[in-house]
Copies of this chain bind each other. A is one copy, B any other.
């Protein structure tokens, strides 16, 4: 029988309409010692307003360098059940689809070896099994892996890639987010399980500019589906929207960021050359508008949380890339990017920070992508920039040529 703690503060959080995490902990605490002590410890934190966990030690499974976050309580005398309370990250399937059978298998394993507590899901995307002891790790891993599951990433490694629901259930997916996510995860198994990089490297894949996995804000490598070609307009459906009270002028035409749309009362016109594919019109008139035909993705690099010189959003590196099986081009690109980072990065330096410190040119040259205006919001403002001797030679040669032809090439 697990220990029962008096939890007046946490009990408050059982009230109210939103599902209660306290109820969840209590469910487990009723039958599991670790969960019971987790509950007691948490109540103590609520009372004292401070946490009782220590810096994680290095724990894991044989041959892997990641996938488990070691966690020890700082007052194990008082809460022996959570003296060890490691979490196990399980690599989720693409877009978090499950069968109930699969979930039950995981629950059974976890009840056997762990606290019974989970996170569905962690904010990188993994299934998180919350709380077990060092001794149990090998068994848990054997049970999981023998049933087709593998650990997710942690430490200075590739982290578990994730993706939006995409073509599985979304009409706007320009790319097969699920398959790409699966393939990249498989491609980088070694990098995922054996931390060997300066710091973490995350991949997130969204099927369109709505970015339903927050790729551009939370992944070192953000892959976002897009298209070339004209937005497809079903004028009848447009008129239907209007007939049903949709204020097309106010809600679409006036909100289009590039001012490239117009509505004459019966026909919607889009100046596609000026559309920046923001998805506003398409998302607000889903029956009437569809993305153009040539599908692909934009690859952006660098986003991360603020520690320590400020949060980054990812930067456009490859404005357009085809996304087709077997995705060799994308795999190669990711490999080259991480190679460059690995060569240039200092410990605990994310790829975006290295690009900022070393310079975009070095990065682009290494990965073989030419400079393009799409990569910047605006060109540089201050009059300081570098030339290689070859740059200058090229310019001088061009000028000589211009002298001959009488035609300037700016």
* A residues whose Cβ falls under 8 Å from a Cβ of B: 306, 310-311, 381-384
Contacts and interface: CB of A to CB of B under 8 A. Distances in A.
Nearest to A259: B254
A257 to B, nearest CB: 15
A260 to B, nearest CB: 15
A225 B381 CA distance: 28
A73 to B, nearest CB: 27
A381 B310 CA distance: 8
A384 B311 CA distance: 11
Contact of A306 (B306, B310, B311, B382): B382
Nearest to A384: B306
7 contacts: A306-B382, A306-B383, A306-B384, A310-B381, A310-B382, A311-B381, A311-B382
Contacts of A381: 310-311
Contacts of A310: 381-382
Contacts of A311: 381-382
Nearest to A310: B382
Nearest to A380: B310
A311 B383 CA distance: 9
Nearest to A308: B384
Contacts of A384: 306
Contacts of A306: 382-384
Contacts of A382: 306, 310-311
7 shortest interchain CB distances as A-B pairs: A306-B382, A310-B382, A306-B383, A311-B382, A311-B381, A310-B381, A306-B384
Contacts of A383: 306
